[in-house]
């Protein structure tokens, strides 16, 4: 069974909207970054988990998408026997849209929509979508940018979504603490380059499931992505011992002038102290 837990973040920094994600897995994913053009000529940059086909990223219309799991009931049963993810296909289709309204519609309706917490934004607006197989999706526009919006793996607007105190209380506490820690760490961040590294700080014992960067036997933080939508920047971060990064594949024509800037960072390995 492939488990997935994450921290997703959206807000404003350096004069524009950003999205970011820390990606946790209980396996070592093989990840590649792709750059390609849609049939309409719009550029898309996305990371893809080659093991599950999971995808998320941004396009040259300044639309970006990140997602964190909210597994409940039927969703958990589906994951147990599931090798490939339909969510990546849905997200990629949404990234083919040139406006936020169409992207939102794809995310909630195409192939039954993307389950979990999804943050979707362009250079003007940020929306949250909370959705499971048992709930009607809740779509909210983020209007308070005094601090970044953070979502983890428990419900914010849907009762019983994700981890709950009665169902997997230890994981629920982990989700709550990781969310609160991320909010505190991001409160004073004023540069785009500081966002992803701020989500790697460990405030508990290295083996604790309460850390934003997990290094437990059952869950490891493998990679991160950060997107400055206004500036059209896609940054990817990975830990080489936790993630098999397979490089960047450019599928655009040779005469194409890139619109989205990609930068890849490899974290240095540090032994537990």
Question: Which whole-number Å values give the CA distances from 145 to 9, 36, 101, 176, 239, in the listed order?
Answer: 12, 32, 20, 21, 30
Hey, what are 103's tokens?
């992207």
Residues sharing a CB contact under 8 Å with residue 110, sequence separation 6 or more, in sequence order: 90, 93, 94
This prediction's pTM: 0.93
- 273 is a domain residue: no
- 271 is a domain residue: no
pLDDT at 74: 46
Q: What is the mean pLDDT of residues 65-94?
A: 72
Answer whether residue 227 shows pLDDT above 80.
yes
CATH of the domain at 133: 3.60.60.10
- 107 is a domain residue: yes
What's the total number of domains in the chain? Answer: 1
- The boundaries of the domain holding residue 207 are 4-266
- 272 is a domain residue: no
Closest to 3 measured CA to CA, from 65, 56, 51? 51
> pLDDT tens for residues 56-77?
999 999 999 999 998 745 444 4
């Amino acid at each position: 069974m492939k488990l997935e837990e994450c921290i997703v973040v959206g807000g404003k920094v350096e004069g524009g909207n950003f999205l970011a994600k820390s990606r946790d897995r209980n396996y070592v994913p093989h990840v590649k970054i792709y750059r390609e053009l849609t049939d309409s000529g719009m550029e898309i940059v996305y990371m893809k988990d080659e093991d599950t086909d999971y995808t998320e990223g941004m396009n040259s219309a300044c639309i970006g998408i990140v997602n964190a799991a909210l597994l409940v009931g039927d969703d958990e049963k589906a994951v147990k026997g599931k090798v490939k993810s339909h969510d990546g296909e849905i997200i990629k289709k949404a990234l083919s849209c040139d406006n936020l309204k169409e992207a939102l519609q794809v995310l909630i309706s195409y192939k039954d929509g993307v389950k979990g917490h999804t943050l979707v934004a362009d250079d003007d607006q940020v929306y949250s979508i909370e959705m499971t197989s048992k709930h009607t999706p809740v779509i909210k526009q983020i209007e308070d940018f005094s601090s970044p919006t953070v979502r983890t793996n428990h419900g914010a607007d849907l009762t019983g979504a994700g981890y709950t105190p009665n169902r997997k209380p230890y994981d629920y506490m982990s989700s709550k603490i990781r969310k609160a820690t991320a909010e505190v760490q991001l409160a004073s961040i004023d540069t785009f380059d500081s966002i992803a590294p701020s989500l790697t700080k460990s405030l508990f014992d290295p083996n604790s499931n309460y850390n934003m960067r997990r290094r437990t036997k059952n869950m490891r933080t493998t990679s991160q992505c950060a997107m400055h939508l206004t500036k059209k920047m896609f940054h990817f971060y990975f830990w080489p011992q936790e993630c098999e990064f397979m490089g960047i594949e450019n599928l655009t024509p040779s005469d194409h002038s890139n619109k989205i800037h990609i930068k890849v960072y490899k974290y240095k390995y540090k032994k537990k102290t």
